[in-house]
Structure 1
Amino acid sequence: MMTVCLIVLLTGCGVDRNIKKGEKFLSLGEYYDAANQFKTAYQRTPPKDRKQRGEMANKMAQAYERISSSQRAAAAYRNVIRYKQDNGDTHRQLAACLMKEGDYAEAVKEYQIALDSMPDNQTLVAELEAAKTASAAKERGSKYIVSRIDVFNSRRQDYSPMLYGDQFNQLYFTSTRNEAQGDAISGITGVKAGDIFVSEKDDKGKWGTPQDIVSGLNTKDDEGTPAFSVDGREMYITQCKTDPNYPRYAQIAVSNRADASWGAAKKLEISRDSLSNFAHPALSPDGNWLYFTSDMPGGKGGLDIWRVRLSGGTTGGVENLGEPINTPGDEEFPTFRPNGDLYFSSNGHGGLGGLDIFIAKVGDDHHYHLEHPGYPLNSQGDDFGMTFEGLHNRGFFSSNRGDARGWDHIYSFELPEVIQTVKGWVYEMDGYELPAAQVFMVGDDGTNKKLSVKGDGSFEQEVKPGVTYILLATCDGYLNHKEEIHVTPVEDSKEHTLQFPLAGIHVPVLIDNIFYDFDKATLRPESEKALDGLVKLLNENPNVTIELSAHTDYIGSADYNKRLSQRRADAVVAYLTAHGIARDRLTPVGYGKEKPKKIRKKLTEKYPWLKENDVLTEDFIKKLDKEKQEIANQLNRRTEFTVLRTTYGMFDDKGNLKQQPKPKPKKPIDDDEIIIE
């Protein structure tokens, strides 16, 4: 008898220790460890102690839910009911788990039981209706094409993919695979802490084996959910620091790219609130706003999507997106399609089970309108973390569908559609791309946009049939360039390409493809295209005056070359004035061989035997072999222009501005409103 009592006492003490450990792990957010402790306490509790068994099953179920182990959570909730420790919330949570398992008929039964005990709960009414219609919605399907991509996936968690690079040839994502840094097993998930991995696509379009980033970005702590700034120089991530004595709060941190590698991430201060989570960063297409997930006070309940304005590396003005996006449930993983549509995941809007992806589009009333993209983009599991291949409705996302352990994997998606895009490149004439440029786009349908330029000087924007667009590229230190395009209907997707070469204000600009008759100043017909381009540039920049200069090689006398080059410069000016350019905006100068060409870096790519800042003097050229001498002489035989003034026609005879600045309107106008004259 004493032995039996001793066993009972020891068992009771062990259960208490398990419960205390479980409660501590739960308070720290270490749900995997908490579930194990509550499971052990449940198993050690005698079946006749129905109350404690039911309570332990309930704790266990909640912990399993937090790590997306819906099968185990459902079994635990059934034990809560078995031991009669259930209430309306028990049946509601069980129904949610059954939805994630795709058992919609049983979910309807459990939701109905919950609703019977909470008849005035309108959210519960909506959840019951979603359960009733889920099977039909899944059967109805959609045109989305979804495939699991094995090269990205491991036997652990792989999620939140994000495409990167001007050609979208890199995929960053979060993974808890064995190659992640650190040796500790996470008390949250039961696997290693997450790291950010990257896979690269080769020239044949094949994705390579994902590699851990070892440049300082990843640590022994959790890093994940990457998002990139518009220029690609900053990576925003979610970071969870480990502290054995404090709850694990998620924070958003920023890593800067230098020398082709990502540095250690530094916390981004979003709010003074130190007791809330900040996670899942996403940048708006214009780069002005950071969207994120948080449980901070002031939301609609659960996790909400918020945004904060970005300015010069700092943040200010936190805003909750409110309805219809946020609900009393959880809204997470915001991301943007480049056309401005906001994608996010929610378990508060109904759907097929777990987190479903929703699309928030801004309507003509300037309010968000929600769409559910249906199956198979959404499933009974958690579906989240979208990334898009440019303007096309294709890319990657993550889902734990069909995984009994609730682990996430990466899938591709595509929605076949006919879209037209305009893709342009902004670069310096005779030089490199200009990522600091901006492009203004105005359409006769009311379109008025300011487009950001990527690191390779390119931009891409969707355009609509039947609309005429004007696009103006600008950059400090350069003249403007304008293009016009009229979009006609097509049967297949089409990309329109435009070039925006900008002339530098502070350097001579080569007018390429200007040809004269041999030893004469007569312009050849094939020169007209380049000269018409110069007419267009001067018309687009009406306040500019230029020096138009012609140059020769060193062969022949200095006096003859100078007279020949002057006649050639005069011939170009005559062409320009004949095509409407005011004569007093043009200064023709023939330099002969007085100003040999100075080599700029871009030209060394075509001629590696030249170095930047080489000057093609007669002495320099004569040291080259015959073939290179001819190339150097050809480079010296050139026609250029140099900007002299940028204020032509702006002042009257008394030195006053002809067009005075208009007074600022009392009513503020949209920062993005653009007017192209």
Structure 2
Amino acid sequence: MGWILVVILLLGFVSCGADRNIKKGDKYLSLGEYHDAAEQYKQAYRRIPPKERKARGQVSKKIALANDYINSSAKAIAAYRNVIRYHQDSPETHLKLAENLMKQGQYGDAAKEYQIVLDSLPGNKAAKEGLLAASEAPAEKKNASKYIVKKMDVFNSRRSDYSPMLFGDQYDQLYFTSTRNEAQGDELSGITGVKPGDIFYSEKDDKGHWGRPQTIESGLNTEFDEGTPAFSPDGREMYITQCTTDPSYPRYAKIAVSNRADASWGKATPLEISRDTLSSFAHPAISPDGNWLYFVSDMPGGKGGLDIWRVRLIGGTTGGVENLGEPINTPGDEEFPTFRPNGDLYFSSNGHGGLGGLDIFIAKVGKDHKFHLEHPGYPLNSQGDDFGCTFEGPHNRGFFSSNRGDARGWDHIYSFELPEIVQTVKGWVYEMEGYELPAAQVYMVGDDGTNLKLSVKGDGSFEQVIKPGVDYIMLASCKGYLNHKEELKVDSVSESKEYTLQFPLASIRVPVMIDNIFYDFDKATLRPESKKALDELVKLLNDNPNVTIELSAHCDYKGPAEYNKKLSQERANNVVAYLTEHGIAKDRLTPVGYGKEKPKTVRKKLTEKYPWLKENDVLTEDFIKKLDKDKQEICNQLNRRTEFIVLRTTYGMFDEKGNLKNPPKPKPQEEKSSDDNTYDIEIN
């Protein structure tokens, strides 16, 4: 009988040990530390004797739940099957098993499980949609779309790499989240069992090759989780998801903002979206106009699971939280919103059917001003989780993340491209004789009704998709500068095409040199090759009808002063004559010949071409004669110039009584929506 007592005691110790593991697992689960919870439940399962089938089945439910949270679908499948094996299953067990079988591409087995649910609950919407998806998935994969998808080994590690986001005026930087060993912190995450995520970045070199990912040497990353970066349209702010650890409280994700200063990202500060402290806020995305922050939350008032919400950004604060509602949100999970520059919203969902796990969907606004969903199919989507798109400007190409084909469930970064015919216009706005003008605006009007106001990037460039068969007028303007207008006629083409335009703006504060004005040697006669530059000046004055200018000609110091002044006056007169012959009113033009009286003052841009000159150097005779012979000749050439300076900007604006001829029209009663990216402009 003694041996029986020993066995009973041993079973008691085993049972107590299992209970301790279960309690620990429950605590980890409540804190959101799913990996640690799964480990505790697994130890408990091993300590429960096989004969205690009910106990084993109940612990298997907990193992399955914890692994479900961390996308370990293979382990979740094994656990759910144990739940069924020990007769502790319910319709929910079979539904969850079916969803995980979909993630593994086991569509036939998934269909059987969905059918079991429907046999018990004929009206179950999730099972109906799941069964339909499982039935259609094989054919959808067979009839693949035209997307080209490639795994990007240069970005990927032996852990998870996900949520890529392109950055930079030339889209030559890629930021993404990674749990690789180089991430900060020494402890492993209780959620995933690996290091907490940090944000890394890679840069593209001059040859178009991406470099090895680097850590961000600033206060942006911490020992906690940071990820899913998104950028404001001006590139000055980075929005991230941040998840700190507290041993006593559940893990709630929050959105934080990092500001860029001196090409470095600073420490992120939390953004208060709501006073709700018991919900998570994650996966930030900024609308193309910069007015809205889209995010993911499980806060009350949603459709169930995780929903996509938005909040208006007002001067660095937020206000007015809105749920996007149907058809985007479902009782399932909707996550990882992002925008294509044309306004299409991309997001991932497990509540709309698809090929398994999270699938990427596209929400486009139709003529009825409502969202309409598209499923881009395989291979952009797969049986795994597919999410986190980023786009290379207006083109349907970029990067996304997926855990397809990874036995451990790690996410990796892939490139994608959908070959399509896209016509774009790319322009640069810059100061004549100066640098780019990122403060400029470009107004774009098309004869199809297009009426847009385009922002200019940090390098002075802008890019916009255009339509074949449309005639466009584009006007660049900036405070302190004259306007510049270009016209563009877009033809139909059989392949993608990019039009390039230049918008040099003339300052109203400093003299502006007119390049390529040529005269006969020692004469005032304009040479034929001057016509192009003179026609550009005619165009400039027509684009700015309220401007009057002083048109001046200058000589070098060689020759008698009186002769040079007379020659330069005749040259200025001839330029003005050309302008008046081409329709410019004579009273808008003041010709002046300065001879050698006003030597050129060097501007900063010129020092890039001639490093031996310094900004604000004045090319006087004394200055020039101290230089080497070759440099003297360069300076003499710089002094021999034709330029203009703006005198007035109100020509023709007032009548004889001093009243404004064309006062602004009163605004119509019906205002445009505040997030409508259209503007009423008139281009003469």
TM > 0.5 fold call = yes
SS at match of 1:385: strand
Kindly indicate whether the alpha-carbon contact (under 8 Å) linking 1:58 and 1:77 is maintained by their aligned counterparts in 2: yes
Amino acid at match of 1:408: D
Percent identity, please: 78
The equivalent position to 1:465 in structure 2, one of 460, 468, 471, is 468
Kindly indicate whether the alpha-carbon contact (under 8 Å) linking 2:166 and 2:173 is maintained by their aligned counterparts in 1: yes
Q: Give the corresponding residue for 1:361.
A: 364
Q: Give the corresponding residue for 2:681.
A: 675
Q: Work out the CA distance in 2 between the residues paired with 1:276 and 1:72.
A: 28
1:326-365 alignment runs, 5 A limit: 326-365=329-368
Q: Work out the CA distance in 2 between the residues paired with 1:594 and 1:268.
A: 60
Q: Give the corresponding residue for 1:15.
A: 18
Q: Give the corresponding residue for 1:640.
A: 643
Q: Work out the CA distance in 1 between the residues paired with 2:245 and 2:179.
A: 16
Amino acid at match of 2:681: I
Task: Tell whether 2:91 aligns with 1:88.
Answer: yes
Could you say if the C-alpha distance between residues 454 and 301 of structure 1 is closer, same or farther in structure 2, counting changes exceeding 3 Å?
Answer: same
Of residues 254-263 and 74-83 in structure 1, the stretch that sits farther from structure 2 once superposed is 254-263
SS at match of 2:154: helix
Kindly indicate whether the alpha-carbon contact (under 8 Å) linking 1:286 and 1:451 is maintained by their aligned counterparts in 2: no
Kindly indicate whether the alpha-carbon contact (under 8 Å) linking 1:302 and 1:330 is maintained by their aligned counterparts in 2: yes
Partner deviation per Cα, 1:609-655 (whole Å, 9 max, x = no partner): 11111111121111111111111111111111112222221112222
Residue 590 of structure 1, CA deviation: 2.0
Give the total of aligned pairs: 677
Residue 11 of structure 1, CA deviation: 2.3
Kindly indicate whether the alpha-carbon contact (under 8 Å) linking 2:165 and 2:176 is maintained by their aligned counterparts in 1: yes
Runs of 4+ in 1 over 6 A off after TM superposition: none
Q: Work out the CA distance in 1 between the residues paired with 2:298 and 2:563.
A: 80
The equivalent position to 1:450 in structure 2, one of 434, 443, 453, is 453
Residue 318 of structure 1, CA deviation: 2.2
Of residues 184-193 and 168-177 in structure 1, the stretch that sits farther from structure 2 once superposed is 168-177
Amino acid at match of 1:275: L
Residue 186 of structure 1, CA deviation: 0.3
Residue 381 of structure 1, CA deviation: 0.2
Amino acid at match of 1:446: G
Q: Work out the CA distance in 2 between the residues paired with 1:13 and 1:215.
A: 48
Residue 561 of structure 1, CA deviation: 2.4
Q: Give the corresponding residue for 1:596.
A: 599
Kindly indicate whether the alpha-carbon contact (under 8 Å) linking 1:440 and 1:674 is maintained by their aligned counterparts in 2: no
SS at match of 2:606: helix
Task: Tell whether 2:153 aligns with 1:147.
Answer: no
TM-score, structure 2 normalization: 0.96
Q: Give the corresponding residue for 1:245.
A: 248
SS at match of 2:472: strand
The equivalent position to 2:411 in structure 1, one of 372, 390, 408, is 408
Kindly indicate whether the alpha-carbon contact (under 8 Å) linking 2:303 and 2:325 is maintained by their aligned counterparts in 1: yes
Kindly indicate whether the alpha-carbon contact (under 8 Å) linking 1:286 and 1:452 is maintained by their aligned counterparts in 2: no
Unmatched tracts of structure 2, length 5 or more: none
Task: Tell whether 2:194 aligns with 1:188.
Answer: no
Kindly indicate whether the alpha-carbon contact (under 8 Å) linking 1:450 and 1:674 is maintained by their aligned counterparts in 2: no
Amino acid at match of 2:593: G
Residue 16 of structure 1, CA deviation: 2.1
Of residues 222-231 and 495-504 in structure 1, the stretch that sits farther from structure 2 once superposed is 222-231
Amino acid at match of 2:196: A
Q: Give the corresponding residue for 1:435.
A: 438
Kindly indicate whether the alpha-carbon contact (under 8 Å) linking 1:152 and 1:199 is maintained by their aligned counterparts in 2: yes
Of residues 333-342 and 369-378 in structure 1, the stretch that sits farther from structure 2 once superposed is 333-342
Of residues 351-360 and 47-56 in structure 1, the stretch that sits farther from structure 2 once superposed is 47-56
Q: Work out the CA distance in 1 between the residues paired with 2:641 and 2:320.
A: 55
The equivalent position to 2:171 in structure 1, one of 160, 168, 175, is 168
Q: Work out the CA distance in 1 between the residues paired with 2:285 and 2:532.
A: 45
Of residues 461-470 and 602-611 in structure 1, the stretch that sits farther from structure 2 once superposed is 461-470
SS at match of 1:577: helix
1:311-326 alignment runs, 5 A limit: 311-326=314-329
SS at match of 1:339: coil
Kindly indicate whether the alpha-carbon contact (under 8 Å) linking 2:427 and 2:462 is maintained by their aligned counterparts in 1: yes
The equivalent position to 2:307 in structure 1, one of 304, 307, 328, is 304
SS at match of 1:663: coil
Partner deviation per Cα, 1:252-288 (whole Å, 9 max, x = no partner): 2222222222222222222222222121122222222
Kindly indicate whether the alpha-carbon contact (under 8 Å) linking 2:429 and 2:476 is maintained by their aligned counterparts in 1: yes
Q: Give the corresponding residue for 1:156.
A: 159
Task: Tell whether 2:269 aligns with 1:266.
Answer: yes
Of residues 495-504 and 554-563 in structure 1, the stretch that sits farther from structure 2 once superposed is 554-563
Residue 528 of structure 1, CA deviation: 1.2
The equivalent position to 1:656 in structure 2, one of 659, 663, 670, is 659
Amino acid at match of 1:675: I
Residue 606 of structure 1, CA deviation: 0.6
Residue 425 of structure 1, CA deviation: 0.8
Q: Give the corresponding residue for 1:543.
A: 546
Q: Give the corresponding residue for 2:512.
A: 509
Q: Work out the CA distance in 2 between the residues paired with 1:451 and 1:128.
A: 46
Q: Give the corresponding residue for 1:616.
A: 619
Kindly indicate whether the alpha-carbon contact (under 8 Å) linking 2:349 and 2:360 is maintained by their aligned counterparts in 1: yes
Amino acid at match of 1:449: L
Q: Give the corresponding residue for 2:378.
A: 375
Of residues 114-123 and 352-361 in structure 1, the stretch that sits farther from structure 2 once superposed is 114-123
Q: Work out the CA distance in 2 between the residues paired with 1:117 and 1:448.
A: 56
Amino acid at match of 1:355: L
Amino acid at match of 2:614: K
Q: Work out the CA distance in 1 between the residues paired with 2:630 and 2:108.
A: 82
Q: Give the corresponding residue for 1:275.
A: 278
Partner deviation per Cα, 1:314-341 (whole Å, 9 max, x = no partner): 2222222211111111111111122221
Kindly indicate whether the alpha-carbon contact (under 8 Å) linking 2:111 and 2:130 is maintained by their aligned counterparts in 1: no
Q: Work out the CA distance in 2 between the residues paired with 1:586 and 1:294.
A: 63
TM-score, structure 1 normalization: 0.97
Q: Give the corresponding residue for 2:567.
A: 564
Q: Give the corresponding residue for 1:57.
A: 60
Q: Give the corresponding residue for 1:474.
A: 477
Amino acid at match of 1:278: F
